[in-house]
Structure 1
């Protein structure tokens, strides 16, 4: 399997297959995703998750948060293929997080941890932590439903200075223009766009061109 120049090892492929097998088993009893067809599961849950590796924005990251992980995407596929990442998977659904924890245990993903909470709740707990070391994240990744503006508001307090928010959005999304006031507020430094190959197979997304948005926080925080 390859994806825009990304080659996977046999061990990585085995891990991804193991994740899909567990997903299909649990899907019989728990509604983890609306997808049922194996090809769609591969396209949407695996390949779209691996799109977050484009542009090498995670190459220098250590602590990564998957915001609203649901059935474990994109965090689990990323953790399987990039074991150097310390991945935290966050979701409010206890049932889905039971599944995520089972995958972590079965695949021995010791570099993954889970949080059953909202983004706001996790942010409040991080603010109560001692100022050193900084408990915030180098990167936040999310496939969660939400506008760019809303996801900026959720991710901002969770990212360290210089950290990056990675979003997979339609290439021509009007959400960036709508988010312009937030981006210009001083809390964000840069927006980079990596064009992704069209999927064409995702339900409801046929013919849509996609992009990976990398939205970076300033390296220094504004004085209060």
Structure 2
């Protein structure tokens, strides 16, 4: 199976019908990631098929947690090489996406990808999440975080950026959990927990969807 077909079939498993243009964008992204990762240590994964599955398709799984619509804004904490934020943006181009990445060389790569793919409505902030307050407080419909601390810490930081009713989406291993008290302390509730098997690898995931109380 070609890399492109692996990508398209993996996206389809989460209900996404990628257009040719969207699939092309992901493949260009893959090529650029391979060019840059040696210099900037962007990913520990080197196999192309594994990158497609564990980065791109895994990122698409976040769309099980919300329905992107016009006027919605997403904040991604600790964006690294752009996952899950940029694949989400490619799949849902109307979504406003803000990526927060404190490592400047990674921010440089993210801006390069944005320019290369000619993406609009996406921005990179060279900062730590705490440095965005109070300007960005309660401004976002969705907050995502992938390789960002434990769930309790992610909730504590991410909840500050959500509008009332907004969603925080975290993809974790099936054994990881968070206490009800921790969730409640951040003014959140558990809206859903989706058990996912990552297409192409068989790896289990738990997609947690938390909602900010009104």
Give the TM-score range, shorter chain.
Answer: 0.7 to 0.9
Q: TM-score, normalised by structure 1?
A: 0.84
RMSD: 1.9
Offset, 1:126:
2.8
Q: TM-score, normalised by structure 2?
A: 0.88
Separation (CA, whole Å) in 2 of partners of 1:213 and 1:126: 23
1:124 alignment partner, SS class: coil
Alignment of 1:1-224 (within 5 A): 1=8, 2-59=12-69, 62-126=72-136, 136-173=139-176, 175-176=177-178, 179-185=179-185, 187-198=187-198, 201=201, 208-219=203-214
Separation (CA, whole Å) in 2 of partners of 1:91 and 1:170: 23
Offset, 1:5:
2.8
Structure 1 residue runs of 5 or longer lacking an equivalent are 128-133, 202-206, 220-224
1:189 alignment partner, SS class: strand
1:184 alignment partner, SS class: helix
Q: Describe the superposition over 1:45-99 as per-residue Cα deviations: whole angstroms up to 9, x where unpaired.
A: 1010000011434457710011100001111111111101000011100000000
Separation (CA, whole Å) in 2 of partners of 1:144 and 1:29: 20
Q: Could you say if the C-alpha distance between residues 64 and 181 of structure 1 is closer, same or farther in structure 2, counting changes exceeding 3 Å? A: same
Q: Could you say if the C-alpha distance between residues 36 and 186 of structure 1 is closer, same or farther in structure 2, counting changes exceeding 3 Å? A: closer
Structure 2 residue runs of 5 or longer lacking an equivalent are 1-7
Aligned length: 204
Separation (CA, whole Å) in 2 of partners of 1:55 and 1:140: 11
Runs of 4+ in 1 over 4 A off after TM superposition: none
